[in-house]
Amino acid sequence: MSKHWPVLTLGAVLLVGLVLPIATGASPPGFYVEVLLGGLMAGVLYSLVALGFALIFKASGVFNFAQGSMVLFAALAVARLGEQMPLWVAMLLAMVIMVALAWLIERLVLRPLVNQEGVALLMATLGVTYFLDGFGQTLWGSGIYKIDLGIAKEPVMILDQVFQGGILVNKEDFVAALVAAGLVASLVLFFQKTSTGRALRAVADDHQAAQSIGIPLNYIWVIVWSVAGFVALVAGVIWGSQLGVQFSLSQVALKALPVVILGGFTSIAGAIVGGLIIGVGEKMAEVFLGPVMVKVFDLAGGGIENWFAYVLALLFLLVRPEGLFGEKNIDRV
């Protein structure tokens, strides 16, 4: 029990923060639930990007800074191809492109850098980030594009009997959350139940041991980067349909970084739970804590959601360095 006190403390603090607005009557219950749902849905989308990070880190020990650019690249591909053909064909084609990209990255970047330390690999993915940002916009154009999923964007009123004024829910958000949940579930199945998934986990555990029992490392890396590309594609389509496909989409990944460190780099469950915590925490902080801070410190506007997630993750790492579900790091000399 005493081992878990950091996690319990975090949970307690978050819970207090969560119930404070409604307990003090600062917000009407309907609005409160609306914010909560909005946070959860944003959280699901963060989880989606964070999953991409976690997958690659687990299997190859590479911290893939380029995940955000991959999201942008995939979204641009879908948006521009979608102008000429049905959306599902465009998505299939984009998937093929992402696999090709994964193969190229493995071939040109990762293979020559085998056995380099983590920093060098991180730098390499930063280089890939710059390349992809430039390449994507050269290839597909740098305007703002739309992806139309054909789902009505009008908010729907639900539960108007329970709460006064009801709750406004965006139908598209809802579908996005469902798709993300489905994707997460299928990824977990893929990792746990298929032989390729087992090979991936073996590589994640120990490169050398996996290689010595005949798992082809290079092939596995291509698979991992393709899966990450697929996750990026889904995230790109969902984010893109909501925000429009534009350069700022690649910044979404920066929001997912605190999710990964909060959840633990190597953990898929961590990416999901961390995403939900950060999504809800961020929205709650912005909506309820923000105005208070603006009043107290005389700020020029809120915007605390830009750093709230990072500070939350940082504080948590101070008490539990390996994150929520990460593997405990034991030093051996």
Partner 1 sequence: MFYRENGQFKSNYASDQQMLPILQDRVFMGLLLVFAFGAVPLFVSDYVFLSLLIPFLILTLAAIGLNILVGYCGQISIGHAAFMSVGAYAAYNLALRLPQLNFLVVLVLAGLIAAAVGILFGIPSLRIKGLYLAVATLAAQFFTDWLFARVKWFTNYSSSGSVSTAPIELFGWKVDSPAEKYLFLLGVLVVFTVVAKNLVRGHIGRAWMSMRDMDVAAEVIGIRPVYAKLTAFAVSSFYVGVAGALWGFVYLGAWEPLAFNLSLSLNLLFMIIIGGMGSLLGSYFGAAFIVALPILLDQVPNWLGVEMSTALASHLASMIFGSLIVFFLIVEPHGLARLWAIGKEKLRLWPFPH
User: Where does this chain bind partner 1 (CB under 8 A)?
Assistant: 63, 108-109, 112-113, 116, 118-120, 122-124, 126-135, 137-138, 142, 254, 257-258, 260-261, 265, 297-304, 306-307, 310-311, 313-314, 317-318, 321-323, 329, 331, 333
**102 three-class SS:** helix
- Between 89 and 314, name the residue whose CB sits nearer to partner 1: 314
Distance in angstroms (rounded) separating the CA atoms of residues 259 and 68: 14
| Complex with partner 1: residue 28 or 321, whichever CB lies closer | 321
Closest CB 260 distance from partner 1, rounded Å: 7
Give whichever of 160 and 327 is closer to partner 1, judged by the CB atom.
327
Q: How far is the CB of 244 from partner 1 (least distance, A)?
A: 18
CB of 332 to partner 1, least distance (A): 8
Looking at the Cβ atoms of 51 and 167, the one nearer to partner 1 is 51
Measuring CA to CA, how many Å separate 298 from each of 211, 223, 301, 303, 309? 59, 51, 9, 13, 22
Spell out the SS3 assignment of 235-252: HHHHHHHHHCECHHHHHH
Dist CA 60 CA 263 (whole Å):
18
CB of 3 to partner 1, least distance (A): 16
DSSP 328: P
* Shortest Å, Cβ 311 to partner 1: 6
Cβ 254 to partner 1, closest distance in Å? 7
Closer Cβ to partner 1, 130 or 219, answer by number? 130
Compare residues 135 and 163 and give the one whose CB is closer to partner 1. 135
Whole-angstrom Cα distance, residue 116 to residue 211?
18
The SS3 call for residue 198 is: helix
d(CA 275, CA 102): 25
**From start to end of 107-202, where are the E strands?**
155-158, 167-170
Distance CA 54, CA 48 (A): 10
For partner 1, the closer of residues 68 and 238 by Cβ is: 68
Q: Of 23 and 330, which has the nearer Cβ to partner 1?
A: 330
Q: How far is the CB of 144 from partner 1 (least distance, A)?
A: 13
Q: How far is CA 71 from each of CA 114, 168, 233, 266, 318, rounded to the nearest angstrom?
A: 25, 28, 6, 20, 30
Roughly what angle, to the nearest 10 degrees, separates helices 5-23 and 305-319?
A: 150
Give, as one character, the DSSP assignment of residue 256: H
Least distance in Å: CB of 69 to partner 1? 9
Listed in sequence order, the residues at least 6 apart from 219 whose beta carbon sits closer than 8 Å to its beta carbon are: none
